[in-house]
């Protein structure tokens, strides 16, 4: 079977790219996608920790209203605004991850896709789409429909 048959032209494998290279680029892309997921979890950690800090502020207010000034003061002194690791709030962890790991990872992956596949992303997935879709089925088309120009 011609692997480029009925495939989105933007995702056709360039003629000089062999199967091993497509597989290697697929693995590299999958690794970057896993890193994207890890980064999303890191942002979730950042947002949840920030939310918890604001909830602590509400707990301090409620403790005070209930007449528990000593306990409110302890929560405020010991927990509100506390570093999550020495010297760091979560935004600093996110910033360090992005600059130290994520951005260099994405740059290297992008450079290699440019060098080896003329900048064409997801060649392995595009081949899978071609192989797995039901050809000539209206919901299994090779490309998106043209934009509606109303």
The domains of the chain are located at 18-132
In whole angstroms, how far apart are CA 30 and each of 5, 72, 84?
24, 48, 30
- pLDDT tens per residue, the chain (150 residues)? 344 456 778 888 899 999 999 999 999 999 999 999 999 999 999 999 999 999 999 999 999 999 999 999 999 999 999 999 999 999 999 999 999 999 999 999 999 999 999 999 998 888 888 888 888 888 888 888 888 887
pTM of full prediction above 0.75: yes
Nearest Cα neighbor of 93 from 54, 34, 38, 141 is: 38
Q: Give the torsion sign (CA, 97, 117, 30, 41).
A: positive
Helix or strand run (H / E) with residue 69: helix 69-78
Is residue 88 classed as helix, strand or coil in its secondary structure?
strand
Per-residue pLDDT at 85: 96
Residues composing the chain: 150
């Amino acid at each position: 079977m011609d692997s480029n048959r009925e495939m989105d032209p933007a995702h056709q494998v360039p003629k000089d790219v062999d199967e091993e290279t497509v597989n290697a680029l697929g693995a590299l892309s999958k690794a970057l996608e896993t890193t994207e997921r890890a980064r999303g979890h890191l942002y979730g950690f950042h947002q949840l920790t920030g939310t918890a800090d604001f909830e602590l502020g509400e707990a301090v207010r409620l403790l005070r209203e209930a007449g528990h000034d000593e306990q409110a003061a302890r929560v405020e002194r010991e927990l509100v605004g506390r570093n999550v690791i020495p010297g760091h709030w979560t935004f600093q962890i996110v910033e360090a991850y992005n600059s130290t790991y994520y951005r260099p990872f994405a740059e290297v992956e992008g450079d290699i896709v440019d060098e080896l596949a003329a900048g064409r992303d997801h060649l392995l997935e595009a081949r899978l789409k071609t192989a797995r879709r039901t050809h000539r089925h209206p919901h299994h088309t090779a490309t998106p429909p043209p934009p509606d120009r109303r």
